[in-house]
Chains A and B, each alone.
Chain A
Amino acid sequence: MLRRLYIQMLWAHPAQFRYRFCDEMLEIFDRADGRRESLRLLLDGLISLLRQWTIRPEFRQPWQPVVTSGNARDPLLFHLIEPYKPRPFALMQGGLMALLLILGVVTAISHGGKLRGFVIGVHHSRPSLLPIDRDSVGEAELNTTVKFGPERKDPWRPLALSYFRMVRMLSVIDTDGDLAISHWEMINAPAVLRKFDVDHDGTLSAQECGFFPGKLRPDVADRLQRSFMREHPVLAALDTNHDNEISAAEIANSSVALKKLDRNHDSSITAIELIPDQSETQAAMILSWFDTDDDGSISLEERSIGDAFPLRSLLDPSDRNHDGRITRAELTTELAFRAEIQRQLERARRSIQ
């Protein structure tokens, strides 16, 4: 077995080396003492094979047969075997035949339906296996109906739909109407917002954003207008300087401003991120009433005016960092905290009853 392997390995050597040395190498292999020695010689032969084909290109010239005095009794003489090379014409003929065969197979496969059953890829089933009533097929009406499963209900959808209708700006920015502002819709926001500028003054007033004052007193209308611009997160985010109108610069910067609303960073602003909760709405309302200088916070002076006095028990604890100014975030936190306390008290009261 090992000898046969060794002979195969010798055959794999370059012709010139093989004819010159492989008879002697085989003789040495035959003299090997034991299996271990044979394996060592086999490994040596493999290394030699690699060496001859990789780093000995200079010894691979065409071999010229040499007349030697061979002994007829020798079973295997590498130097007596003529090197075989197929004739160029035979190679061309073989290549042409192979090409024709491939073309034939490809043609048979591509025209399988039009040829008889013996062609590759065609199978004619017997009529008894699949009976078809042709007459009934011809006269039958196409009355197949496809039923879809029940549409998944999103509990937020009705609320989101009504909110997007209320804040008209949102429904315009949401061009595909999926009740969410996608990354591309955020990028496209400046162009959409400019369409709201009815009076072409370059800025969007509260009225242009959807606030309708009606026949209210001017001071009340002014406070409600401020509340409107602050309670809706999308308007509050766009009106970065809190002057209750969206300037040309703020319109141009609207893509960046809207991205701040994407709290979960999924490149899309959903209804959950757009609809204000009760605490935020209340905070915006309170801020719009008492933030008379429109700096986005309620100062000590603004807290001391007569109207604010009844709310001092709410406003004073809201100033959590004790800097004398109550921001919208501080107010929202305080209101949410109180609402939670109220909920827990209500739950406790119910459990007692």
Chain B
Amino acid sequence: MKPVIDDYLPLAPAMLHILLSLAGEKMYGYAIMQEVARQSEGRYKLGPGTLYDNLQRLMKQGLVEEVASRSEENSSRRRYYRLSDLGRGVLSAEIARLEDVVRQARPHLKAPQPGRI
């Protein structure tokens, strides 16, 4: 049975940031943490415990998959992760949902007219 993308939405902030960081290329854990910090301009810092817990869940859900290590990498400890097709679809859907939320929110966030409650 084909999974429905809407079942995965909305994404938790940590999951969204991990998927976003993996949107470009495959990465290992430490690189994901740095990418998340870069994307959020240092305002959101993932700890390794949170990162690997979320990666574990994302892999179980099939949104992220592990890939073979780069041959040029020296360290055998590193595991690389990338977005699956399903993960990419979920990320796209989540971004569309957030865009919709932002579009809906903008008129309400305009400064109120003087004299109006």
Contacts and interface: CB of A to CB of B under 8 A. Distances in A.
B48 A17 contact: no
Interface size class of chain B, counting residues whose CB lies under 8 Å from the partner chain: 10 to 19
B77 interface: yes
B79 interface: yes
B83 interface: no
B56 interface: yes
A34 interface: no
Contacts of A17: 52, 56
Interface stretch (A46-54, A131-139, A285-293): A46-54
A12 B64 CA distance: 26
A90 B49 CA distance: 36
Contacts of B52: 17, 20-21, 24-25, 48
Contacts of B55: 21
Interface in A294-315: none
B30 A24 contact: yes
A24 B48 contact: yes
A263 interface: no
B49 A44 contact: yes
A325 to B, nearest CB: 77
A24 B77 contact: yes
B76 interface: yes
Interface string B31-75: 001000000000000011110110110001000000000000001
A116 to B, nearest CB: 60
B56 A51 contact: no
B77 A27 contact: yes
B10 interface: no
A17 B49 CA distance: 10
B29 A74 contact: no
Nearest to A76: B77
B33 A28 contact: yes
B48 A23 contact: no
Interface string A71-87: 10010010000000000
Interface of B: 28-30, 33, 47-50, 52-53, 55-56, 60, 75-79
10 contacts: A20-B52, A25-B48, A27-B77, A28-B48, A41-B48, A43-B47, A44-B49, A56-B53, A58-B60, A59-B56
